[in-house]
Structure formats: C-alpha cells, structure tokens
Amino acid sequence: MILAVSFDVWNTLLNTDVLFRRLAKLVSVMRGLDPVEVEAIIYETYKKVRELRLFIVNSDEVRVFPMRSRHLLAKMLNIDFEELVKAIDAIFASLDIDSILFKDVKPTLDVLSSLNLKLGVIGNTAFWESIYTRELLDRSGIKEYLNVQLYSDEVGIFKPDKRIFLEFCKRLNVKPQEVLHIGDSVIEDVGGSLSSGMKVMMINRAGNARKVIVPEVGLMITHSLSDAIEAIQVLD
C-alpha cells in the first residue's frame, strides 16, 4: 500500500527552463552578450554538471558541488564568479512564483494531501544550494504540503544513490515499497528509486507520448503530474 509520495523538484514541480531563460537574459545584459548564446552555454554546462555528479560519492564533495558548478558556469560564460552569484541572487529575489510553478502541481498536491499521504521532496543540487529551492517552495506555498525535504547538498548524497531514497523512507517511517517517487530523470529518479525498492512515475513534460505502465517493474511514464493518483492505484 502506498503511504507516501516523494517528488523531484526541478522540471517536476518547478520549471527549470524559465529560470535558465531569465538568468541568460540578465547575464547577457550585464555583459553585452547574445542571450541565445548565453542560454545555450547554460544548458551545455548544466548537462555537463549532471554528468559530473554521477561520479561523485564523497559526501563532502557532494555538499560543495553547487559552488563548484557555479565556478564552472562562470568559466564557460567567461564572467567573474561574483558576477554570476549576484545574477543568480537577483533572479531568485525577483522571480514570479507563478511563472515557474507548473500548473498541475497544487491541484495534485491537494488531492494527495486529502488522501492523508505523506509528501516530500528528494532533490539534487547544481548551480545553487538547496536553500534557494527551499525558499521558492516556501514562497509558492508548496512547503505547507511537505512532511520532509531532502537535498543532496544537505545529506551529502546525490540521486541516483539509493541511500538518499532510503533516508527519505527512514525520516517518514515508511518502507520503500510504500513510496511512489515522481521525477523527470531516467537515471536519477527512475533508476535511483527503483533500486531502493520504491515505485516510480516518470514525468516527461516535454512529450505527449502515450502513457506507459509497467506494473511488474513498478513504473509509469506520463507527461502530467495529475496522473499521480492513477499511478498509486495501478502500481500499489
């Protein structure tokens, strides 16, 4: 029986594209650069950062990874590190929450909460520390739905390491098979949660492909967060 649901944050609850686009625009204004080129560099570096963290298992390295990632991004953009930090701070301070929160998030959380399910997030960090993400979830009202928030830079473990998923279970006093994890990454979310014994719903917001359900594996692939209720029913 599913008793808890864990969520990835970026591109599951919050829209990464909106934030990267705004960061690219601000950096381009600061440095007189082409915003399209800046955005391309940000995505290229983000891809590299996600690849790098797959090989990091040392907890101290995981905790400082956001700073390391910012240094890499500053280098790729050919701007001063402190300039990049100021740009990121400015973006988060002025961000319109409605522009970054996916429309299906709150309605889905309302339904899940009404079922008395325990809810939480399991997130990796990249260019900014988890404190930035926590603030956004607080400002958006999402924090009120959550029983726990776990972030890689706080616990010293990256997804897809099953230890971070098991830590989630430990904090909520549930068994892995009693948890549905929802996220957008095949490696970090699907691979990590299944290896820990959880069920998983992979959300592909960019696609409109037909829904795929593999109950034998404990997997659903869909493009809408609102399918979480169905996932609980068919994977339970």
Q: Which residue has the tokens 């650069």?
A: 33
CA 22 to CA 32: how far, in whole Å?
15
Ordered by where they begin, the domains of the chain are 4-14+102-235 (3.40.50.1000), 16-97 (1.10.150)
Does position 31 have pLDDT exceeding 90, yes or no? no
CA 158 to CA 9: how far, in whole Å?
14
pTM of the predicted protein model: 0.96
The arrangement of strands across the sheet holding 4-7 comes to 148-151, 118-123, 4-7, 179-183, 199-203, 219-222, 212-214
Check residue 199 and give its pLDDT.
99
Q: With cut-offs at 50, 70 and 90, classify the pLDDT of residue 236.
A: confident
What percent of the chain clears pLDDT 70, i.e. is strictly above it? 100
Across residues 164-168, what is the average pLDDT? 99
Specify the pairing of strand 219-222 against strand 212-214: antiparallel
CA 30 to CA 27: how far, in whole Å?
5
DSSP 63-131: HTHHHHHHHHHHHHHT--HHHHHHHHHHHHHH--HHHHB-TTHHHHHHHHHHTT-EEEEEE--SSS-HH
Instruction: Read off the pLDDT of residues 79-99 as tens digits, 9 standing for 90 and up.
Output: 999 999 999 999 999 999 999
Q: With cut-offs at 50, 70 and 90, classify the pLDDT of residue 118.
A: very high
Using alpha carbons, list the distances in angstroms from residue 180 to 35, 82, 141, 165, 211. Answer: 39, 40, 22, 11, 17
Instruction: Read off the pLDDT of residues 217-230 as tens digits, 9 standing for 90 and up.
Output: 999 999 999 999 99
Instruction: Read off the pLDDT of residues 181-219 as tens digits, 9 standing for 90 and up.
Output: 999 999 999 999 999 999 999 999 887 768 999 999 999
Contact between 203 and 184 (Cβ < 8 Å): yes
